[in-house]
């Protein structure tokens, strides 16, 4: 369930915040450009990341003034770093936090730096991720954004705000479903005018003079391939904060909850607690279903991008409808297919067969593969050898065919389902040989 949203008073401005977890230390998450404390919980990937932080802390999250559920401010009024520091202080006071670690990401970093320097008695530690001390280019800071680049980006924001296209730069590996979520997130987090106002403020920030004055334990994290914020700025920051710990991570995702989030949060947890605790994943017996559109690349080339997107949307709606009717749980959308789990193999087979049959009416063919085994539940995701087997079985299925492992066939004995032996196969990366069976029409 989503945590309760409360309000702190910072001067005349109401700041929306939430508190999650009951850990031994307070951790204030300072978001980047825009945020929305409630809608971010609609993203399973973000939810899992925030709950990881809350597993070892009392996590305090908030919307900066002018964004999300906090009071709007006039688009023409640039919020100052001082006002934003006041907002953090007000939220900490309202949440009963005397002293907290700050986790500032992207544009939230400069304000976190200033807060840690100004209020060291209230700052337990400072963590910066994908951030910088200065946004614009200068001869002595060549990792910034030039005025020309800023103008081009501002034009893009004004023209395409709320369409989700910016996510392809911030997180190149995000899915189409993430893009839709991000489009909604941006519209709910700020208006185009507010976004442009904040963009202008961020472009003018320069807190380089503050760096040598930081006296709290500091951790700086940056993914080396980040396309939004150059890694050189993070190295610059780490070199100028006394005793700062710098960790460079692989990957190109700017948004911290995409990519290898566990590696990033592991660094945060170890830095704050001194321990590296990864909970043992829960395990459960489940039937894994993989579906995949046959010849998707050829379809896209033949139909063109627009018509292909429309057809994909129809396909996705159809698959999700049948998953819901069959009590299947969508785990992942793979672009032209799905990974889902079921608590019963017979329902999974009937669902897969129905999907194959109905998708043909769209002019598409899909292949489907199923296996039943013990799966690891890792947040909203699943893992383990059973998932790998299901994926390999799916890859061997013919167009419009539902292929199952012998395990699935044995578990549905007496169900009335009929099968045809497809022989024994070696599944890439999976031990032993596996006997596979095709589901026959009833």
The span from the CA of 427 to the CA of 386, in Å, is: 12
Burial 290-306 (b: 16+ CB within 10 A, else e): bbbbbebeebbeeeeee
| Residue 80: pLDDT over 60 | yes
Domain ranges of the chain: 6-273, 282-440
What mean pLDDT value characterizes the chain? 91
Average pLDDT of span 168-183 = 81
| Residue 346: pLDDT over 80 | yes
The span from the CA of 83 to the CA of 13, in Å, is: 10
pLDDT band at 325 (very low <50, low <70, confident <90, very high): very high
Query: 17-31, pLDDT tens digit by residue?
Result: 999 999 999 999 999
| Residue 281: pLDDT over 60 | no
| Residue 157: pLDDT over 90 | no
The answer, as to whether pTM is greater than 0.75, is no
pLDDT on residue 120: 93
In CATH, which superfamily holds the domain spanning 6-273?
Answer: Alpha/Beta hydrolase fold, catalytic domain (3.40.50.1820)
Least confident segment among 81-95, 270-284, 291-305: 270-284
Neighbours of 379 (CB within 10 A): 15
The span from the CA of 191 to the CA of 199, in Å, is: 12
More confident residue, 73 or 350: 350
Answer yes or no: are the C-beta atoms of 393 and 355 closer than 8 Å. no
CATH code that applies to domain 282-440: 3.30.70.1230
| Residue 52: pLDDT over 60 | yes
Containing 190, the helix (H) or strand (E) segment is none
Query: 363-409, pLDDT tens digit by residue?
Result: 999 999 999 998 888 777 888 889 999 999 999 999 999 999 999 99
The span from the CA of 109 to the CA of 103, in Å, is: 8
Query: 176-227, pLDDT tens digit by residue?
Result: 778 888 899 999 999 888 888 888 888 888 999 999 999 999 999 999 999 8
Query: 119-138, pLDDT tens digit by residue?
Result: 999 999 999 999 999 999 99
Average pLDDT of span 304-332 = 92
Query: 236-262, pLDDT tens digit by residue?
Result: 999 999 999 999 999 999 999 988 899
């Amino acid at each position: 369930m989503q945590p309760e949203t409360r309000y702190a008073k910072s001067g005349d401005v109401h700041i929306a915040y939430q508190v999650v977890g009951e850990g031994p230390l307070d951790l204030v998450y300072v978001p980047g450009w825009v945020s929305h404390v409630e809608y971010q919980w609609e993203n399973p990937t973000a939810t899992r990341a925030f709950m990881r932080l809350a597993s070892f802390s009392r996590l305090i999250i908030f919307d900066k003034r002018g964004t999300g559920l906090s009071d709007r401010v006039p688009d023409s009024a640039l919020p100052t770093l001082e006002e934003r520091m006041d907002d953090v202080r007000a939220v900490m006071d309202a949440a009963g936090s005397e002293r907290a670690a700050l986790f500032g990401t992207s544009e939230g970093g400069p304000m976190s730096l200033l807060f840690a320097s100004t209020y060291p008695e209230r700052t337990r530690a400072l963590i910066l991720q994908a951030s910088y001390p200065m946004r614009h280019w200068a001869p002595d800071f060549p990792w910034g954004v030039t005025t020309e680049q800023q103008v081009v980006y501002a034009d893009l924001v004004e023209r395409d705000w709320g369409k989700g296209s910016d996510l392809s730069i911030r997180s190149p590996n995000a899915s189409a479903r993430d893009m839709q979520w991000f489009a909604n997130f941006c519209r709910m987090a700020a208006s185009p005018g507010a976004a442009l106002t904040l963009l202008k403020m961020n472009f003018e920030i320069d807190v380089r003079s503050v760096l040598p004055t930081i006296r709290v334990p500091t951790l700086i994290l940056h993914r080396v391939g980040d396309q939004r914020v150059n890694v050189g700025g993070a190295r610059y920051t780490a070199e100028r904060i006394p005793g700062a710990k710098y960790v460079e991570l692989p990957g190109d995702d700017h948004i911290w909850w995409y990519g290898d989030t566990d590696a990033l949060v592991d660094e945060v947890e170890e830095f704050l607690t001194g321990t590296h605790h990864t909970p043992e994943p829960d395990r459960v017996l489940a039937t894994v279903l993989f579906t995949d559109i046959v010849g998707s690349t050829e379809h896209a080339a033949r139909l063109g991008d627009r018509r292909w997107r429309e057809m994909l949307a129809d396909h996705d709606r159809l698959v999700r409808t049948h998953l819901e009717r069959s009590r299947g749980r969508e785990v992942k959308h793979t672009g032209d297919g799905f990974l889902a789990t079921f608590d019963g193999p017979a329902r999974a087979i009937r669902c897969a067969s129905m999907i194959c049959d109905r998708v043909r009416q769209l002019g598409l063919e899909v292949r489907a593969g199923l296996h039943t085994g013990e799966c690891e539940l890792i947040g909203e995701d699943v893992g383990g050898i059973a998932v790998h087997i299901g994926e390999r079985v799916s890859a061997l299925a013919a167009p419009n065919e539902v292929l199952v492992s012998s395990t699935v066939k044995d578990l549905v004995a007496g169900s009335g389902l009929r099968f045809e032996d497809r022989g024994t196969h070696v599944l890439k990366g999976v031990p032993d040989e596996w006997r596979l069976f095709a589901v026959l029409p009833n």
